[in-house]
């Protein structure tokens, strides 16, 4: 399936949905590289349970998802029925069609012909604030994006809470993700004006749900990504994972508590500097070479971050880990050491 979770297919999709199971692993990935050299203990279970929590929350709000339930000893359950944390989730499967790669780029013509039961080839990104160094600032500077595209009159300061969330788009099924304007996103998806507007409004609603729920734990939801499919009736359905520290940029008391911690760790390495030079070129992953391993201290701290976030977002004590406040303090110290 991918670098951080595996897909078990129980029934192949056709014109109607299939059935599958996500096996969330303790692997992690940064910068589109793929498998990194370490495992983060209990990361897979934490992500499975947080995502399940948000799927269950959305379905209570009548938002369609591909979620069926989490799996414990072969039985499908809701997360509050579990006896112990699990890393397997049962889902409804849709077809995945890939754009054709050509010398000029990618051809998305197939998506204009499909009727239903397929993955929409977009990642929808909501932004409640713009961190320092955000791609948005860089894209505006390069002329790839305008304030009109974003629907704002002036750029906010880094970390300043936006008056209205921004909706942004990137590709989902290309070798390296690239950002898209709204018109490009609508064009490659093959969606009608009405469907595309519904996609945006639904993304804003999901952002609001995530922001509200994590806010109960004192967590700020800065940005995140959502993936969608059309079901067999061509109705929008939320798929993949949602609302986790891998899909979202969360902070607690101004301290990052998401996969961004791992990104910042690696941005201090020569390995990352090589990535900056060659990412997207042919065989770029081979060119940059193997990434450095994490220290035991960092692995333990990141593991605690995932486990504590899971406990406090779900309101269920799945893991024996410190409070999120204590974990955030330790992360702040680590980031200070890296910056020093």
Q: What is the pLDDT of residues 252-268, one digit of tens each?
A: 998 999 998 999 899 98
**Burial tier of 155 (Cβ tally within 10 Å: 0-12, 13-18, 19+):** middle
- Whether pLDDT at 85 is above 70: yes
Tens digits of residue pLDDT in 51-60: 999 999 999 9
Please report which confidence band the pLDDT of residue 340 belongs to, taking 50, 70 and 90 as the band edges: low
Q: How far is CA 309 from CA 22, 170, 312, 316, in A?
A: 20, 27, 5, 11
CATH of the domain at 226: 3.30.470.20
Over residues 90-109, mean pLDDT: 94
Closest CA relative to residue 314, chosen from 21, 69, 50: 50
Tell me which of 194 and 163 has the higher pLDDT: 194
Integer-rounded Cα Rg, in Å, for the chain is 20
The predicted-structure confidence for 126-138, as pLDDT tens digits, reads as follows 999 987 768 888 8
- Segment 290-298 mean pLDDT: 92
Range with the lowest mean pLDDT among 3-7, 40-44, 65-69, 305-309? 3-7
Closest CA to 300 of 274, 261, 339: 261
pLDDT for residue 274: 93
pLDDT of residue 288: 92
Domain that holds residue 207: 5-339
Q: Residue 143 — pLDDT band, cuts 50, 70, 90? A: confident
* Count of the separate structural domains present in the chain: 1
- pLDDT at residue 337 above 70? no
Provide mean pLDDT across the span 310-338.
91
If you average pLDDT over residues 233-248, what whole number do you get?
96
**Sorting pLDDT into bands at 50, 70 and 90, what band is 149?**
confident
Average pLDDT over residues 92-110: 94
Q: How many angstroms separate the CA atoms of 227 and 67, rounded?
A: 13
Band (155; pLDDT cuts 50, 70, 90):
confident
Q: What is the pTM of this model?
A: 0.92
pLDDT of residue 115: 94
When the pLDDT of each residue in the chain is averaged and rounded to a whole number, the result is: 92
* Residue 279 pLDDT greater than 80, yes or no: yes
Handedness of CA 170, 173, 178, 184 (dihedral sign): negative
Which pLDDT value is given to residue 158?
79
- Is a pLDDT exceeding 70 seen at residue 106? yes
Q: What is the mean pLDDT of residues 36-45?
A: 95
Confidence check: pLDDT of 152 > 90: no
Is the pLDDT confidence value at 74 over 60? yes
Q: Name which of 58, 82, 86, 79 is nearest 314 in CA terms.
A: 79
Residue 21 in this model has a pLDDT that exceeds 90: yes
Q: Could you give the percent of the chain with pLDDT greater than 70? A: 98
- Band (pLDDT 50/70/90 cuts) for residue 78 is very high
Q: Which helix (H) or strand (E) holds 67?
A: strand 67-72
Name the more confident of 293 and 154.
Answer: 293
Whether the per-residue pLDDT at 2 is higher than 70: the answer is no
The residues near 262 (Cβ < 8 Å, ≥ 6 apart) are 28, 30, 294, 302
């Amino acid at each position: 399936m991918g670098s951080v979770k595996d897909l078990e297919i129980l029934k192949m999709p056709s014109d109607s949905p299939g059935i599958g199971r996500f096996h969330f692993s303790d692997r992690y990935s940064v910068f589109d590289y793929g498998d990194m050299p370490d495992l983060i203990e209990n990361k897979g279970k934490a992500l499975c349970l947080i995502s399940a929590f948000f799927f269950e929350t959305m379905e209570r709000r009548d938002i369609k998802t591909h979620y069926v339930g989490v799996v414990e000893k072969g039985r499908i359950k809701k997360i509050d029925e579990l006896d112990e944390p699990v890393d397997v989730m049962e889902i409804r499967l849709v077809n995945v069609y890939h754009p054709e790669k050509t010398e000029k780029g990618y051809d998305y013509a197939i998506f204009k012909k499909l009727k239903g039961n397929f993955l929409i080839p977009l990642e929808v990104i909501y932004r409640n604030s713009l961190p320092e160094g955000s791609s948005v600032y860089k894209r505006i500077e390069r002329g790839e994006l305008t304030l009109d595209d974003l629907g704002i009159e002036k750029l906010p300061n880094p970390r300043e809470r936006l008056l209205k969330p921004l909706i942004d788009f990137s590709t989902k099924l290309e070798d390296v993700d690239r950002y898209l304007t709204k018109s490009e996103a609508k064009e490659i998806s093959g969606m009608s004006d009405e469907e595309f507007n519904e996609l945006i409004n639904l993304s804003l609603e999901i952002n609001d749900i995530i922001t509200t729920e994590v806010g109960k734990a004192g967590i700020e939801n800065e940005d995140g990504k959502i993936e969608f499919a059309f079901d067999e009736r061509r109705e929008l359905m939320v798929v993949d994972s949602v609302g986790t520290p891998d899909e979202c940029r969360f902070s607690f008391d101004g301290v990052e508590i998401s996969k961004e911690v791992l990104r910042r760790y690696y941005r201090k390495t020569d390995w990352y500097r090589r990535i900056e030079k060659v990412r997207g070129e042919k065989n770029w992953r081979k060119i940059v070479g193997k990434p450095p391993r994490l220290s035991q201290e960092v692995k333990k701290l990141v593991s605690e971050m995932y486990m504590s976030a899971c406990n406090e977002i779900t309101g269920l004590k799945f893991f024996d880990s410190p409070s999120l406040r204590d974990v955030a303090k330790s992360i702040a110290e680590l980031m200070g050491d890296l910056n020093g």
